[in-house]
Structure 1
Amino acid sequence: MATALLITGTLGAGKMAVADALGDLLADAGVPNAVIDLGWLRRALPAPPDDPFQSALTSLRG
């Protein structure tokens, strides 16, 4: 069963620091994991002509 933990907060709140630390803890415990920063995911290229800011990649609507 796959599980996701979403970390949210305001700009500069330390979300990536928490995510990185959690990823390290999980890796040290031998738990398979992936830490994905949606801001960086939106930089995927090339962007579709109808979605230049890659909003669909980070939409919860699918």
Structure 2
Amino acid sequence: MTEKIIDAAGKKHNLTGFDGLVFVHGLNEEPFTTDKVISKCSKNQLQVVKNLVRNHKQDLEEFGGL
């Protein structure tokens, strides 16, 4: 059921290039991603993504743990 909702939202907002961006191991687990996946999906260099995460750590932690 959850996968159908996510698929429908992805199609509605044209998120086809972001397949595999977020991982979820179970309904009770917190979703997550990695800096390497963000780098690949956003077409940015890994070091750039790492610097952005480091520079905006407090803001990003509002959404969950890093």
Quick check: TM above 0.5? no
Higher helix proportion (structure 1 or 2): 2
TM-score when scaled to structure 2? Answer: 0.29
